[in-house]
Amino acid sequence: MTQTRASTGEHELHLYEDDLTLIMRVAGFLEPAFRDEHAILAVATRPHLAAIEQRLRTDGIDVDGARRSGRYIGLDAEVMLPQLMRNGLPTPSQFNGIIGEQVDTLAKQYGQIRAFGELVQLLWRDGKRSAALRLEDMWNELLGFQPLSLICGYRLRTLGGHDGDRVSEIVRRHGQRPN
């Protein structure tokens, strides 16, 4: 498996056409954190979580041991997303109280964190473009003060349509480096 080095504060965008491409890319991104005993947070759909974990196990990673020790947290994005939303938009208080607290706890215990997120993909898929962009901004803010590197996955066909300006906003938000 190709491993990817991410510096702290990196917010990477991964556009994919098929699930296998996503699974391989994300597993390669997360694997170094497992091997280096850093923390891992994955907020993904249940099928993607299962496939990523299986790919890591195939590569000799003790996913279950990392989960038992609290170093790996896998959250179902479809369950988490409604908890972050108020009146159709994610709120900073909900985001910080749920995702931010998880990241803070992991950072205190393990230092560096690598994370994968699909929350924004789910919002975009459901036509909630402003909510997706707002959530990207919240991730960028969190990246500014936590030892965190993040990769977000967006299915290419989800990004299709007539939202060219909004798609470029997604790309820009992933190119930003926190201060």
CA dihedral 35, 63, 6, 25 (to 10 degrees): 120
Can you state the angle between helices 129-143 and 164-175, rounded to 10 degrees? 10
Please count the residues of the chain.
179
pLDDT band at 101 (very low <50, low <70, confident <90, very high): very high
Tokens of 52: 């990523």
3-state secondary structure 69-102: HCCEEEEEHHHHHHHHEECCEECHHHHHHHHHHH
- Residue 100 has which token pair? 């931010």
Residue corresponding to tokens 């896998």: 74
Q: pLDDT band for 163, please (50, 70, 90 cuts).
A: low
Show the domains of the chain with their CATH numbers.
Answer: 11-175 (3.40.50.300)
Note the pLDDT of residue 1: 33
Residue of 76, 85, 165, 168 whose CA lies nearest to 126: 85
Report the first-to-last Cα separation within the chain, whole angstroms: 32
**Cα atoms in the Cβ-side hemisphere of radius 13 Å centred on 168:** 3
pLDDT over threshold 70, residue 6: no
Give the global pTM: 0.88
